[in-house]
Amino acid sequence: MHVVVCIKQVPDSAQIRVHPVTNTIMRQGVPTIINPYDLFALEEALRLKDQFGAKVTVLTMGPKMADQALRKALTFGADEAILLTDRAFAGSDTLATSYALSSAVAKIGQTDPIDIVFCGKQTIDGDTAQVGPGIATRLNLQQLTYVSKIVSIDKDARQIVVHRRAEGGVQVLKTAMPCLITMLEDTNHIRFGTMADAFRAARYTLTEWSATEAGVPDVTHCGLRGSPTVVKKVFAPTAKTVKATPIAGDTPESLSQTLIDTLFSAHPGLQEDLESRVASNSQGA
Amino acid sequence: MTERFDAIVVGAGPAGSAAAYVMAKAGLSVLMLERGEYPGAKNVQGAILYSDALERIIPEFRDEAPLERHIVEQRVWMLTDKSHIGFDYRSDEFNDAKPDRYSIIRAQFDRWFCTKVKQAGALVICDTVVRTLLKDEKGQVIGVKTDREGGDIFANVVILADGVNSTLARDAGFRKELDGDNTALVAKEMHFLRPEVIQNRFNIGEKEGVAFELVGTLTRGKIGMGFIYTNLESVSIGIGCMVGDFEKGGLTPYGLLDELKAHPSVKPLLAGSEMKEYSAHLIPEGGYKAIPKVYGNGWMVVGDSAGLVNSIHREGSNMAMTSGQLAAETVIALKKEGKSFTEQNLARYRSALDDSYIIKDLKKYQGMPGFLHGNRHVFTVYPELMSQAASTMLRVDGIDKKSKEKQVTKSFRQKRGLFGLVGDAIKFARAFR
């Protein structure tokens, strides 16, 4: 079994600062991390390695410094790492990114056929959740988004059963492999790699692919040229100030009562709604 | 598979990186382990980099290292609650092609230093904590055990560069628990300001910087010191006291820092800034007498872990790098001579330290920590007296200068008494000898 995990190196949003003068995001000096959502995808892939002996290849597109993210993925236990890096990719939106990545995935599959492609649900810097589905569509893979659990895999029948989060419930889906899975957050926890993995990662020579090496058929579909997205304006929303109303009371009980009364009077219908819910819950119990 | 190296270095700060770099450059197989996510992620310093120590290891560092500003002016301020009296030294000679000190940001600097270590051929593994040292039945250190599964790694010698709170050295019985009276706790903030504002406010050019050292009544008679350093786009400000004094209560690190920032002489320097980062760190300030044993069978200790800090001259990272270099050179020489890494052979490292500026300087000031502990009034009385004297002499109020001089002398004698004054001077001079 061969699985490919697409990851992205993103600025650590916890440490991003807005420039106090220009109001732009200061990326310089901000530490980078693997997109946190991608770690759920990577861990799920590593579990398939534990269970089925799957080979795990991580793939990323980005500048040379993205090798840090790949090396980190190797430390967690991934087997191979490929960095897609080329000036032609600079400025890619999600359409161009999925184009480049799908070419690379196809190329990886030529030497070692792929059973599952994993992606995170979305990235924390773009938040579009479009790249995973884009790759699936371009490569004609079965598309399983927002997967919360891999229930079973039948290697011989090449079938997979997963739980997928949907509005109002969980879908149980069975489909054929190869497929693309975007993994939902909080579904697992990334492992702490072994010492052997850490050594392998430190010594590993990364494979770097240019657009040509990745077998990208048409470079004009990459980078800024291949990106129809237009950023019209970037701005920080102005803060709205709402005056706080102090609540008076001597005891916790009287304070809570005043708070509840204030809320109920400000939101008519809230009281009945809550009470009916409590009633139906107690009936259910 | 068993991993085996000539040397393992624990900790990727200036001491560890210096040691690993020098050994790797000489062709030894070296592994450096760091607990942080990346080198520098957990490291805190003011920070001033003294060029000399690094230049002896990486002569071309100025072309590559992330340096903020070279320091052209040093200000020493004695603060009372409302005033400061100070001493400045500024010279265009500090604009020399090879400036002797720079402000740096350690998170960036340590990262750079580590890439040099890797380029020199050492293996660096981060996010990995060394739990214990592995010893053979004779007590010879033969490697380390990390917190990762399958974490035993072997080496002929282990260099401990795991910082001031070296739990490894303590747990291995190489040294005692940190002593609160020998350890300072410093709180620091970085305040963002536009480069033009910094340059105007501190009267400096584009790449020039200023370093302040501050003492005074702020620390309420406790041994303590503050600092202000200018970076390219920020100002670092910090203040600390001995841990033992914090333990006694009444002072908090953040409280001291808040007071310093609110001081009438300091506040305008930070006006309009935005705080970007805050941190705190321990500094081993016990000096010569507090240096633990720095070598043994299969191990050496370098940098802060060995307490190599000159608290009077605010030197530490330079001593860290030099001690790392000296430890590395000891390893290289012993390997070349085909000798083993026994305690007896590693004693060369201690002799090298003794012959260097590190031990010579620490020895010179060995009386200083004791003097300060016994004479805490120097942090309150003298700044007050100096400030009063300046105020008296500078005020134009119809009183003749001779009477003013008498008044100043009287105030000194009243506060400390003649014997007190002479005694302070003698004790101070002795501590410096």
Total domain count for chain B? 3
Q: Please identify which residue in the block is written with the tokens 């903030």.
A: B189
B186 plus B265 within the same structural domain: yes
d(CA A120, nearest CA chain B) in Å: 22
Partner-chain residue, chosen from A17, A75, A194, that has the shortest CB–CB distance to B150: A194
Residues B121, B270: one domain? no
Nearest CA in chain A to B41: A31
Do B271 and B392 have their domain in common? no
Instruction: Search chain B and give the residue with CA nearest A29.
Output: B108
Q: Does A205 touch chain B (CB under 8 A)?
A: no
How does pLDDT run along chain B (433 residues), one tens digit per residue? Answer: 689 999 999 999 999 999 999 999 999 999 999 999 889 888 889 899 999 999 999 999 999 999 999 999 999 998 888 899 888 999 999 998 899 999 999 989 999 999 999 999 999 999 999 999 999 999 999 999 999 999 999 999 999 999 998 888 888 888 888 888 899 999 999 999 999 999 999 999 999 999 999 988 888 778 788 999 999 999 999 999 999 988 888 888 999 999 999 999 999 999 999 888 899 999 998 899 999 999 999 999 999 999 999 988 889 999 999 999 999 999 999 999 999 999 999 999 999 999 999 999 999 888 877 777 777 777 777 778 888 888 888 888 888 888 888 888 888 888 777 777 777 777 766 665 5
Give the type of residue at A127.
D
Position A195 scores a pLDDT of: 97
Question: Which of B107, B124, B150 has its CB closest to that of A202?
Answer: B124
The verdict on A22 touching B (C-beta cutoff 8 Å) is: no
For the domain made up of A2-221, give the CATH fold.
Rossmann fold (3.40.50)
Question: What does the pLDDT read at residue B27?
Answer: 97
Q: Which domain holds residue B375?
A: 369-432
Chain A CB contacts of B274 below 8 Å: 20
CA B134, CA B286: separation in Å to the nearest integer? 29
**Cross-chain residue pair A21–B153, CB shorter than 8 Å:** no
Among B284, B316, B340, which residue terminates a domain? B284
Both B50 and B113 in one domain: the answer is: yes
pLDDT at residue number B313: 84
Find chain B residues with C-beta within 8 A of A202's C-beta: 123-125
CA B97 to chain centre: 25
B152 SS3 class: strand
Which residues from A are below 8 Å from B37, CB to CB? 31
Residues B280, B295 within the same domain: no
Domain co-membership, B428 together with B415: yes
d(CA B55, CA B113) in angstroms, rounded, equals 12
Cβ pairs A/B, distance under 8 A = 42
Interface test with A, best of B124, B148, B191 (most A CBs within 10 A): B148
Query: Cis bond leading into B47, ω under 30°?
Result: yes
CATH number where B119 lies: 3.50.50.60
Give me the CATH number covering residue B243. 3.30.9.90
**Mean pLDDT across chain B, nearest whole number?**
91
Are A198 and B148 an interchain contact pair (Cβ–Cβ within 8 Å)?
yes
Chain A: residue whose CA lies nearest to B38 = A31
Residue B403 · residue B381 · CB < 8 Å: no
Q: Identify which of A21, A196, A197 has the shortest CB distance to residue B194.
A: A21
Residue where one domain finishes, among candidates B302, B325, B355: B355
User: Measuring CA to CA, which residue among B292, B128, B269, B90 is closest to residue B189?
Assistant: B269
pLDDT for the residue A20: 59
- Pick B192's closest partner by Cβ from A20, A192, A193: A20
B87 occurs within a structural domain: no
Residues in B closer than 8 angstroms to A20, CB to CB, are 192, 274
Same domain, B122 and B216: no
Nearest Cα to Cα of residue A89 among A254, A213, A256, A263: A213
Q: Does A202 touch chain B (CB under 8 A)?
A: yes
CB atoms inside a 10 Å sphere around CB B376: 16
Start-to-end CA distance of chain B, whole Å, equals: 55
- Encoded amino acid at B375, one letter: N
Residue B335 placed within a domain: yes
Predicted local confidence at residue A85, as pLDDT = 96
Asked if A194's CB is within 8 angstroms of B128's CB, the reply is: no
pLDDT at A95: 92
Domain contains B52: yes
Judgement on whether residues B315 and B406 belong to the same structural domain of the protein: no
Residues B280 and B294 reside in one and the same domain? no
State how far the Cα of A194 lies from the Cα of A176, in Å rounded to an integer. 33
CA–CA gap between residue A86 and residue A278 (Å, rounded): 59
Q: What is the pLDDT of residue B201?
A: 96
Q: Which of A31, A193, A202 sits opposite B148 (nearest CB)?
A: A193
> Domains of chain A: which residue ranges?
2-221, 252-284
Residue A46 with chain B: CB contacts under 8 Å: none
Q: Chunk chain A into consecutive blocks of 10 residues (it has 285) and report each block's average pLDDT, rounded to whole numbers.
A: 96 72 64 93 97 97 93 97 94 92 96 96 89 95 96 95 93 96 95 96 95 93 89 77 84 92 89 86 64
Residues B7 and B21 in one domain: yes
User: In B, what residues contact A, Cβ < 8 A?
Assistant: 1, 3, 37-38, 41, 105, 107-108, 123-125, 127-128, 146-153, 192, 194, 274, 276
Strands B299-301 and B224-230: unpaired
* Same domain, residue pair B300 and B158: yes
In whole angstroms, give the CA distance from residue A235 to residue A266.
Answer: 32
Q: By CA distance, what is B197's nearest residue in A?
A: A21
Are B192 and B266 members of one domain? yes
